[in-house]
Amino acid sequence: MELIFVRHARPEHVERTDGSPADPPLAAIGHQQAAAVALWLCEEQIDCLYSSPMRRARETAVPIEEACGLVVNVREKLSEFDRDSSSYIPMEVLKEVNRAAWERLASGKLLGSVDSLAIWFSSAVAAVENIVEEHRGQRVGIICHGGVINAYLAHCLNFSPEDFMKFDVDYSSVTRVFASSEGHRSVNSINETTHFRGLPHLSVRD
């Protein structure tokens, strides 16, 4: 079967002072990115769609649902490692306002305890593996997060869970993995952005 991962489109910059989760919605450009990837994916003959419950993923999923004529299944364990964080600062903004923090994250050094990240990593990978088991022989779209995509790629490529953030996946980019019933995992592509062709203003680089 084929897994088509879609990273959420660009969200707004949100920093809450009351300690509640930021859980940002999409920015205006994010809605345009989501529409562009939906238009591209409608030709893929996707059998089923899954999404993280986080707002930026769910809003990215809406035009994909409409374009593909499918209803998204929400899976809690597809959430990002920053689910409970009170702030979300897009990487290109963080680069400008806090260069040291940007360099730390860009190098794969995530915040949080090693144990909590390990638990999240195992949970995210297990969530994807459950989807594989449920959809043998099908093509499935998963709208989620850069961390989730990197975690599953690390699982497929035997990278260490302690150093798994290897790939820069753009907003609304597509990553494809083939998964066989015998347990073989083959990474077909990472960070496809064909849907930005002719729309350079939608390509937001760090």
In the 3-class helix/strand/coil scheme, how is 113-136 assigned residue by residue? CHHHHHHHHHHHHHHHHHHHHHCC
Q: How confident is the model at residue 51 (pLDDT cuts 50, 70, 90)?
A: very high
Angle at the Cα of 55 (from 7 to 104), degrees rounded to 5?
55
Average pLDDT over residues 164-173: 92
Write the CB contacts of 52 (distance below 8 Å, at least 6 apart in sequence).
8, 58, 74, 75, 78, 79, 80, 143, 144, 145, 148
Average pLDDT over residues 26-31: 96
Q: How confident is the model at residue 206 (pLDDT cuts 50, 70, 90)?
A: very low
Pick the closest to residue 199 from 12, 35, 18, 10 (CA basis).
35
60 touches 9 (CB < 8 A): yes
Q: How confident is the model at residue 55 (pLDDT cuts 50, 70, 90)?
A: very high
Token representation of residue 181: 């019933």
Average pLDDT over residues 28-35: 97
Q: How confident is the model at residue 178 (pLDDT cuts 50, 70, 90)?
A: very high
- Domains along the sequence of the chain with CATH: 2-11+25-201 (3.40.50.1240)
Query: How far, in Å, CA of 87 to CA of 190, rounded?
Result: 27
Residue entry with tokens 């360099």: 103
Average pLDDT over residues 137-151: 96
Q: How confident is the model at residue 89 (pLDDT cuts 50, 70, 90)?
A: confident
